[in-house]
Protein backbone atom coordinates (compact mmCIF):
# COMPACT_ATOMS: atom_id res chain seq x y z
CA UNK A 1 0.00 0.00 0.00
CA UNK A 2 1.29 3.42 -0.89
CA UNK A 3 0.11 5.46 2.09
CA UNK A 4 2.27 8.52 1.62
CA UNK A 5 -0.10 10.18 -0.82
CA UNK A 6 -2.33 12.12 1.53
CA UNK A 7 0.39 13.97 3.37
CA UNK A 8 2.53 14.37 0.26
CA UNK A 9 -0.35 15.81 -1.76
CA UNK A 10 -2.11 17.96 0.82
CA UNK A 11 0.10 18.29 3.91
CA UNK A 12 -3.24 18.24 5.76
CA UNK A 13 -5.40 15.66 7.48
CA UNK A 14 -9.01 14.76 6.60
CA UNK A 15 -10.45 17.93 8.13
CA UNK A 16 -7.95 20.29 6.52
CA UNK A 17 -5.68 20.81 9.53
CA UNK A 18 -1.88 20.68 8.98
CA UNK A 19 -0.60 17.32 10.16
CA UNK A 20 1.75 14.45 9.50
CA UNK A 21 -1.09 12.00 10.19
CA UNK A 22 -2.67 9.92 7.47
CA UNK A 23 -6.31 8.82 7.60
CA UNK A 24 -5.76 6.62 4.51
CA UNK A 25 -8.49 8.34 2.48
CA UNK A 26 -6.14 9.20 -0.39
CA UNK A 27 -4.52 5.79 -0.93
CA UNK A 28 -5.27 4.87 -4.54
CA UNK A 29 -1.99 3.39 -5.76
CA UNK A 30 0.07 0.33 -4.93
CA UNK A 31 3.87 0.41 -5.14
CA UNK A 32 5.49 -2.53 -6.95
CA UNK A 33 9.00 -3.59 -5.96
CA UNK A 34 10.92 -6.80 -6.56
CA UNK A 35 14.11 -8.50 -5.48
CA UNK A 36 15.96 -11.57 -6.70
CA UNK A 37 18.04 -11.81 -3.51
CA UNK A 38 16.08 -9.85 -0.83
CA UNK A 39 19.02 -7.41 -0.64
CA UNK A 40 18.90 -5.50 -3.92
CA UNK A 41 15.54 -4.04 -4.93
CA UNK A 42 13.97 -2.77 -8.14
CA UNK A 43 11.19 -0.16 -8.02
CA UNK A 44 8.67 -0.88 -10.80
CA UNK A 45 6.57 2.19 -10.06
CA UNK A 46 2.97 2.30 -8.98
CA UNK A 47 -0.25 0.66 -10.04
CA UNK A 48 -2.78 3.47 -10.28
CA UNK A 49 -5.70 1.39 -9.05
CA UNK A 50 -8.30 4.17 -9.08
CA UNK A 51 -7.50 4.90 -12.73
CA UNK A 52 -7.67 1.24 -13.76
CA UNK A 53 -10.78 0.38 -11.72
CA UNK A 54 -12.64 3.67 -11.98
CA UNK A 55 -15.25 2.59 -9.39
CA UNK A 56 -12.49 2.26 -6.74
CA UNK A 57 -11.63 5.16 -4.42
CA UNK A 58 -8.94 3.36 -2.43
CA UNK A 59 -6.50 0.47 -2.67
CA UNK A 60 -5.66 -0.80 0.79
CA UNK A 61 -3.84 -3.92 1.98
CA UNK A 62 -3.17 -5.66 -1.33
CA UNK A 63 -2.64 -9.40 -1.68
CA UNK A 64 -1.20 -11.01 -4.81
CA UNK A 65 -1.12 -14.49 -6.29
CA UNK A 66 -0.18 -16.39 -9.44
CA UNK A 67 -2.04 -19.11 -11.29
CA UNK A 68 -1.69 -20.81 -14.66
CA UNK A 69 -5.04 -20.70 -16.44
CA UNK A 70 -5.51 -22.40 -19.83
CA UNK A 71 -1.72 -22.63 -20.16
CA UNK A 72 -1.20 -18.88 -19.56
CA UNK A 73 0.56 -17.35 -16.57
CA UNK A 74 -1.80 -14.94 -14.78
CA UNK A 75 -1.21 -12.65 -11.82
CA UNK A 76 -3.95 -11.29 -9.59
CA UNK A 77 -3.94 -8.37 -7.19
CA UNK A 78 -6.76 -8.16 -4.62
CA UNK A 79 -7.30 -4.95 -2.64
CA UNK A 80 -9.72 -3.31 -0.24
CA UNK A 81 -11.62 -0.31 -1.58
CA UNK A 82 -11.71 1.45 1.77
CA UNK A 83 -13.97 -0.82 3.85
CA UNK A 84 -16.62 -0.91 1.12
CA UNK A 85 -15.51 -3.83 -0.99
CA UNK A 86 -12.80 -6.09 -2.33
CA UNK A 87 -11.53 -5.52 -5.85
CA UNK A 88 -9.24 -7.49 -8.13
CA UNK A 89 -6.92 -6.58 -10.98
CA UNK A 90 -5.15 -9.01 -13.31
CA UNK A 91 -1.95 -9.04 -15.37
CA UNK A 92 0.24 -11.33 -17.45
CA UNK A 93 3.32 -10.34 -15.44
CA UNK A 94 3.85 -9.80 -11.70
CA UNK A 95 4.94 -6.24 -12.47
CA UNK A 96 2.02 -5.46 -14.77
CA UNK A 97 0.57 -3.78 -16.55
CA UNK A 98 -2.51 -4.58 -14.50
CA UNK A 99 -6.00 -4.28 -15.91
CA UNK A 100 -9.52 -4.54 -14.60
CA UNK A 101 -11.14 -7.89 -15.36
CA UNK A 102 -14.23 -7.94 -17.54
CA UNK A 103 -16.46 -7.82 -14.43
CA UNK A 104 -16.19 -4.02 -14.23
CA UNK A 105 -16.97 -3.88 -10.52
CA UNK A 106 -15.89 -5.06 -7.08
CA UNK A 107 -15.53 -8.79 -6.49
CA UNK A 108 -17.18 -8.38 -3.05
CA UNK A 109 -19.47 -5.38 -2.52
CA UNK A 110 -20.88 -3.81 0.61
CA UNK A 111 -24.53 -4.79 0.99
CA UNK A 112 -24.20 -7.96 -1.07
CA UNK A 113 -24.99 -11.45 0.22
CA UNK A 114 -21.24 -12.13 0.16
CA UNK A 115 -20.71 -9.33 2.70
CA UNK A 116 -23.57 -10.24 5.04
CA UNK A 117 -22.53 -9.79 8.67
CA UNK A 118 -19.13 -8.30 7.86
CA UNK A 119 -18.50 -4.91 9.45
CA UNK A 120 -15.55 -3.85 7.31
CA UNK A 121 -14.68 -5.31 3.92
CA UNK A 122 -10.93 -5.11 4.08
CA UNK A 123 -7.61 -6.94 4.43
CA UNK A 124 -7.96 -9.47 1.61
CA UNK A 125 -5.66 -12.48 1.67
CA UNK A 126 -5.50 -14.94 -1.19
CA UNK A 127 -4.31 -18.53 -1.39
CA UNK A 128 -3.95 -20.85 -4.36
CA UNK A 129 -3.94 -24.40 -3.01
CA UNK A 130 -1.73 -27.19 -4.39
CA UNK A 131 -4.67 -28.40 -6.48
CA UNK A 132 -5.04 -24.96 -8.13
CA UNK A 133 -8.13 -23.93 -6.16
CA UNK A 134 -8.11 -20.27 -5.16
CA UNK A 135 -9.47 -18.98 -1.85
CA UNK A 136 -10.03 -15.41 -0.72
CA UNK A 137 -10.16 -14.36 2.94
CA UNK A 138 -11.49 -10.92 3.87
CA UNK A 139 -13.38 -8.91 6.43
CA UNK A 140 -13.09 -7.62 9.92
CA UNK A 141 -14.50 -5.19 12.38
CA UNK A 142 -16.08 -5.78 15.76
CA UNK A 143 -19.84 -5.31 16.05
CA UNK A 144 -20.94 -3.83 19.38
CA UNK A 145 -21.27 -6.48 22.06
CA UNK A 146 -19.37 -9.09 20.04
CA UNK A 147 -15.82 -8.41 21.23
CA UNK A 148 -15.19 -12.03 22.25
CA UNK A 149 -16.23 -13.47 18.87
CA UNK A 150 -16.93 -10.85 16.19
CA UNK A 151 -17.63 -13.40 13.46
CA UNK A 152 -16.75 -10.93 10.71
CA UNK A 153 -14.00 -12.77 8.82
CA UNK A 154 -15.00 -14.67 5.69
CA UNK A 155 -13.46 -17.23 3.35
CA UNK A 156 -14.71 -17.94 -0.15
CA UNK A 157 -13.59 -20.26 -2.90
CA UNK A 158 -12.75 -18.34 -6.04
CA UNK A 159 -13.86 -19.41 -9.50
CA UNK A 160 -11.37 -21.07 -11.80
CA UNK A 161 -10.82 -17.63 -13.37
CA UNK A 162 -9.81 -16.11 -9.97
CA UNK A 163 -12.09 -13.10 -10.66
CA UNK A 164 -15.41 -14.67 -9.66
CA UNK A 165 -16.80 -16.46 -6.60
CA UNK A 166 -17.46 -20.20 -6.75
CA UNK A 167 -19.86 -20.09 -3.79
CA UNK A 168 -21.09 -17.89 -0.94
CA UNK A 169 -18.44 -16.83 1.59
CA UNK A 170 -18.38 -18.73 4.88
The 10s digit of each residue's pLDDT in 25-53 is 778 889 999 999 999 999 999 999 999 99
Distance of CA 53 to the CA centre of its chain: 12
Q: Which helix (H) or strand (E) holds 60?
A: strand 60-69
Rounded distance, CA 125 to CA 63, Å?
5
- pLDDT at residue 141 tops 90: no
Q: Is 130 helix (H, G, I), strand (E, B) or coil?
A: coil
What is the band of 23 on the pLDDT scale with cuts at 50, 70, 90?
low
Q: Which of 4, 23, 100, 6 is nearest to 55 (CA)?
A: 100
Strand 72-80 with 134-139, pairing: unpaired
Rounded to two decimals, the pTM is 0.86
- pLDDT tier for residue 3 given thresholds of 50, 70 and 90: low
Amino acid sequence: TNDSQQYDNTNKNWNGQPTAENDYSKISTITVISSADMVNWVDHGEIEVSKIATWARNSWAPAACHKTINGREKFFLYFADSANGIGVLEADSPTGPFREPSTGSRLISWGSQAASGVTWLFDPAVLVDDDGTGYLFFGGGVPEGMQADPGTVRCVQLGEDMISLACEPQ
